[in-house]
Chains A and B, each alone.
Chain A
């Protein structure tokens, strides 16, 4: 059975914790409560300066460790800071890119991407050094040495054209998902449709997981010529709608931010969307 990407936002119950309690828990001694509070403060977007400071401090936590040496509290703190959108957390998140725990690095890359601050570009580029030689599967590990797909996506969305030479080799990586991230970033950085067409091609592939990934990438880059292929690929309508929404918003932002008229292209995209509701 394939899991369906439905959202269950209603399940999260904010009433079981108050802001004061969460902050107190984050600064407290109980590791379980600390871990939960870090997640909670991000989930409910508590942007108070006190919260930001406490989460930044939690990025240096040494107490909460897993058996394999991971840092669970640091992971949650890094994820939360990405949701809170405070640029003061950028230097501390950049420092996390050197953490020994893969999942801390992954969370930091993701959050730096959400924050959209270009100062992290040189540090992200360092993580791509060594190219494909370094980026090979590690026996017994569920992931590669670095969260390459996220690193490449963030470099693409930050417009880091200086990273093109480092990203390009990943188009040939043996992990298909990673080649999609590379194609997506290469399109964003060069606007050459040859890269976006690789993603369109992926919509006709055999594996649902890969078609879903290509949908998400095409939506993120807003590649208009993909509209029909998106509407026709075999995947959940939720995902097709999100991808077409990406195209629509890209188009509307590009053409006329102030005028109230709806272009023929926008109408075409919305007709495709209406049929998927």
Chain B
């Protein structure tokens, strides 16, 4: 158990870091301590526009898991797309379905492709077992509707993330909603036939293969 003084010191070390290396080390130390009190500081680091500390902060937030979900939803920086993308990545990694609305909106409407990409990825692997059972099927249908939109995104990387997400969704609904599996496969087959990007089509092939293997 870490005392309050130590927690404060770890937080201050992040706030006072004056180089990328010292910031990275301070973020790693705070992340490893897994302190609930450190969550706002880790979220702030996401907006620093500095990739390695941001990655360390995301890892820390994902390790903290559910307790970080509400702070992330509340403290997300709407005016900094870099920070927003990292926050969405953290929410996607935690996979808590309370982030559903945020992820749906971000995937379909955010102007930054790095945010749409991270959100689409997150929609593909939510922990559905944490949701009230009655809500699961309709929520999964909404995810599919949003992934149909992102499958038409102008950025290849968002369509690539959509293939990844359709694969994950296909696996989640395999038992509960066989009809939806059919629709997912049809969507993937359409992407395979029409997408102009070779990397996207290759990822779609892999997704189709994985979904079909689960069905057997």
Contacts and interface: CB of A to CB of B under 8 A. Distances in A.
Interface of A: 1-2, 4, 6-10, 208, 234-238, 241-242, 245, 248-249, 252-253, 260, 262, 266-267, 270, 273-274, 277
Interface in B8-53: 49-52
Contacts of A260: 205
A274 B202 CA distance: 13
Given A4-B49, A7-B155, A277 B202 contact: no
B49 A241 contact: no
Contact of B51 (A7, A236, A270, A277): A236
Contacts of A266: 202, 206
A242 B156 CA distance: 10
Contact of A245 (B111, B120, B199, B205): B199
B188 interface: no
Interface in B157-216: 157, 160-161, 164, 198-199, 202-203, 205-206, 209
Contacts of A234: 51-52
A8 B154 CA distance: 11
A203 to B, nearest CB: 13
Nearest to A245: B199
A270 B202 contact: yes
B206 A262 contact: yes
Contacts of B111: 8, 10
B171 to A, nearest CB: 14
Contacts of B157: 238, 241-242, 245, 277
A6 B116 CA distance: 12
Contacts of A262: 202, 205-206, 209
Main secondary structure of the interface of B (DSSP, over half): helix
Nearest to A11: B111
Interface residues of B, number: 28
B208 to A, nearest CB: 9
Contacts of B120: 277
A270 B49 contact: no
Contacts of B140: none
A242 B199 CA distance: 10
Given A274-B164, A277-B117, A277-B161, A248 B49 contact: no
Most buried by A among B113, B156, B199: B199
Nearest to A211: B51
29 contacts: A4-B49, A4-B82, A6-B82, A8-B111, A10-B111, A234-B51, A235-B51, A236-B114, A238-B113, A238-B114, A241-B157, A241-B160, A245-B156, A245-B157, A245-B199, A248-B202, A252-B198, A253-B198, A260-B205, A262-B202, A262-B205, A266-B206, A270-B206, A273-B160, A277-B117, A277-B118, A277-B157, A277-B160, A277-B161
Main secondary structure of the interface of A (DSSP, over half): helix
A237 B157 CA distance: 11
A191 B120 CA distance: 38
Interface in B93-120: 111-114, 117-118, 120
Nearest to B92: A277
Given A2-B50, A208-B51, A277-B117, 10 more contacts: A4-B81, A6-B112, A6-B113, A6-B114, A10-B111, A248-B202, A253-B198, A267-B206, A270-B206, A274-B121
A127 B196 CA distance: 36
Contacts of A9: 154
A2 B51 CA distance: 10
A237 B202 contact: no
Contacts of A248: 198-199, 202
Contacts of B155: 7
B81 A6 contact: yes
Contacts of A273: 160, 203
Contacts of B160: 241, 245, 273, 277
Contacts of B52: 234
